[in-house]
Amino acid sequence: MRLSERQTPRVIVDVHRMRRNIDRMQQAVGGGGKRLRPHAKTHKSPVIARAQLERGASGICCAKLGEADVFVEAGCDDITLPYPLLPTQAARLLALLDRARVRFIVDDVEVARGWSEEGVRRGVRFEVLLKVDVGFHRCGVAPGAAREAVRAIAGMGGLSLRGVLSHAGHAYGATSETVLAQIAADERAVLGAIVEGAAADGIHLGEVSVGATPTARFSVSEPGITEMRPGNYVYFDRTALGLGAATLDECAMFVMTSVVSRPAADRVVLDAGSKTLSNDLARGFSPQPGHGLVLAGLEGLDTLPSLVVERLSEEHATVRVQGGAVTLRPGDRVRVLPNHSCVVSNLVDEIDLVEGERVVDVLPVAARGRIA
């Protein structure tokens, strides 16, 4: 099957680039003496998880139990959920624990106590990591409260506190390489101080887990980190490009789309809207406008900088022609590099794996929609 025979819009992944991304991250993280535990929320595919594990990943991350169900069913037996589970989910977690090692995070002493009671009652020890807020200000205990939390949680029955974990999501707002490097250095310093404080209290925290694609290239050489959990790197996207995490020729996922209307010289309408591209805007050192980067045709890296994906309806992209002679007519095809590939995965049942214009395989997005 050739790409030109496919109906559009169609999400496509360049197999060669994806494999190269997997290899490069594995080499970088392994070369830094750390374990790689990729976040599977980007691809939601056991096939790709298997490729990551075969290259040396020590396990995977899933965001939710429902996502983990799919990967455990497919044979992945070492999963971390860097997500704050609630004790009301104990029965679902236990069902997974029969078949796999599954760890999760806690960031609240009372919630940890709830898990502890569940563990004691059911005669198991849940493996947990303390989530630390290193600046993203989403989940996580504040660094100043971490020592106390470690003491409390380490002393609870039914729990085994394995270490500390953070996600430097604020790296997505970085304005330069220097800022990114500093975020990675600060993250390591915060976690290192918690590990030292715990050691002084006689508590061994063996796992120091960080994870975000923008900081990955700096974290690999930070001492004291044992594990990295990037996810986005498998495909990258326009945001990764804007943050210097990837070059255009490392971006593996595109949306192939057709021109369906050319109502004016300065306007082109494509058949991929927010239900394909998502409404996420691009981030980066100097964020670029629009809902994706338009590339000419079905192959190559020929960007069309005079086109800005200005507006998305559910099924249309309204593209502004900023100048230059753009000859696009209804029926012509272009590719769009999405702003955020992880969300795009979750919007389609399957993805075409391509080599040039050839569709070499169709990848089911098996954990698509597993948001609970």
Ligand X SMILES: Cc1ncc(COP(=O)(O)O)c(C=O)c1O
Given the complex with ligand X, which of 105 and 328 has the nearer CB atom?
Answer: 105
Spatial CB neighbours of 344, under 8 Å, sequence gap ≥ 6: 11, 237, 253, 255, 276, 277, 278, 338
Given the complex with ligand X, which of 218 and 333 has the nearer CB atom?
Answer: 218
Q: How far is the CB of 337 from ligand X (least distance, A)?
A: 16
Q: How far is the CB of 342 from ligand X (least distance, A)?
A: 6
As given in the structure block, the two tokens for residue 9 are 């819009």
Given the complex with ligand X, which of 116 and 345 has the nearer CB atom?
Answer: 345
Residue 169, number of CB atoms within 10 A of its CB: 18
Given the complex with ligand X, which of 82 and 273 has the nearer CB atom?
Answer: 82
As given in the structure block, the two tokens for residue 343 are 């969300």
Given the complex with ligand X, which of 112 and 212 has the nearer CB atom?
Answer: 212
Given the complex with ligand X, which of 252 and 317 has the nearer CB atom?
Answer: 252
Compute the chain's Rg from CA coordinates: 22
Q: How far apart are the first and last CA of the chain?
A: 35
Residues that bind ligand X in the complex, under the rule CB under 6 A: 39, 82, 167, 211-213, 229-232
Given the complex with ligand X, which of 213 and 258 has the nearer CB atom?
Answer: 213
Helices (H), 155-296: 177-200, 213-219, 238-242, 274-277
Q: How far is the CB of 117 from ligand X (least distance, A)?
A: 25
Distance of CA 16 to the CA centre of its chain: 19
- Return d(Cα 129, Cα 351) in angstroms, integer: 34
Q: Look at phi and psi of residue 209 and say left if phi exceeds 0, alpha if psi is from -120 to 50, else beta.
A: beta
- Return d(Cα 334, Cα 321) in angstroms, integer: 14
2 bridge partner residues: 358
Q: How far is the CB of 324 from ligand X (least distance, A)?
A: 34
Q: How far is the CB of 235 from ligand X (least distance, A)?
A: 10
Given the complex with ligand X, which of 226 and 318 has the nearer CB atom?
Answer: 226
As given in the structure block, the two tokens for residue 222 are 């930070």
Q: Rounded to the nearest 5 degrees, what angle is found at the Cα of 208, between the Cα atoms of 204 and 211?
A: 165
Helices (H), 77-108: 90-97
DSSP H or E run through 355? strand 350-355
Q: How far is the CB of 62 from ligand X (least distance, A)?
A: 10
Given the complex with ligand X, which of 9 and 211 has the nearer CB atom?
Answer: 211
- Return d(Cα 295, Cα 301) in angstroms, integer: 7
Alpha carbon distances (Å) from 277 to 36, 142, 251, 254, 291: 28, 35, 15, 9, 7
Q: How far is the CB of 64 from ligand X (least distance, A)?
A: 11
Q: How far is the CB of 215 from ligand X (least distance, A)?
A: 8
Q: How far is the CB of 182 from ligand X (least distance, A)?
A: 17
